[in-house]
Structure 1
């Protein structure tokens, strides 16, 4: 009697997502085999991975001018969630394209806002505007 080995265990969704979001060149060989197997098992997932990696390339290389073509490719596949995402991008295409074309970010501003909120919360609602202003300006 010939027994077939049991199929390999399916990866957990978080692990599969990590494989998808990692650049293919940075995947270890065993992880590359794992993502190859899940891509072969599900054609819809394979198409979604191609779209996700295409968008990642647009963001990493600041190629905002290629965004309409990328959105058109999504419409060719029957992936409702990605189509919904793409339609959301179309609502404000000029802003999204401009965001992809620029090399600067608002990270520094967001960090300052977070710091101000932290200082405000540290006063437990007792600190008035003059004390809060002094703590912000003195960076304490």
Structure 2
């Protein structure tokens, strides 16, 4: 698992197929083997995600913020629920 962490932190996606084959061959580690099998399902996308310098963090931050606001406002309507966050901002 340390080698996977190294691949992940250093963006070395080209080493991922070799890692998944090595982990898939070990019978004594069922959880990492199962994880590696799931990586094989979309290996091209995972490899690209671990190779490219750019990512979608900014977009995901906006989506998470919108979802949080939706959760806060679920079941509530009117001005009063909006007043407190507006005053705090």
| TM-score range for the pair, normalised by the shorter chain length | 0.7 to 0.9
Match of 2:12 in 1: 63
> Structure 1: which 5+ runs fail to align?
1-51, 129-139
**C-alpha separation between the residues in 2 aligned to 1:65 and 1:59?**
11
In structure 2, the partner of 1:100 is 50
Normalised by the size of structure 1, how large is the TM-score? 0.49
Match for residue 110 of structure 1? 60
Structure 1: distance between partners of 2:71 and 2:24: 46
State the 1:127 CA deviation: 4.5
RMSD, aligned CA = 2.0
Q: Determine the structure 2 residue equivalent to 1:85.
A: 35
Structure with the greater relative contact order (CA < 8 A, sep ≥ 6): 1 or 2?
2
Gaps of 5+ in 2: 79-88
Determine helix, strand or coil for the equivalent of 1:90: helix
Q: Tell me the distance in 1 between the aligned counterparts of 2:67 and 2:25.
A: 45
CA apart distance, 1:73: 1.4
TM-score (normalised: structure 2):
0.72
Question: Does the Cα contact within 8 Å between 2:7 and 2:16 map onto a contact in 1?
Answer: yes
Aligned length: 78
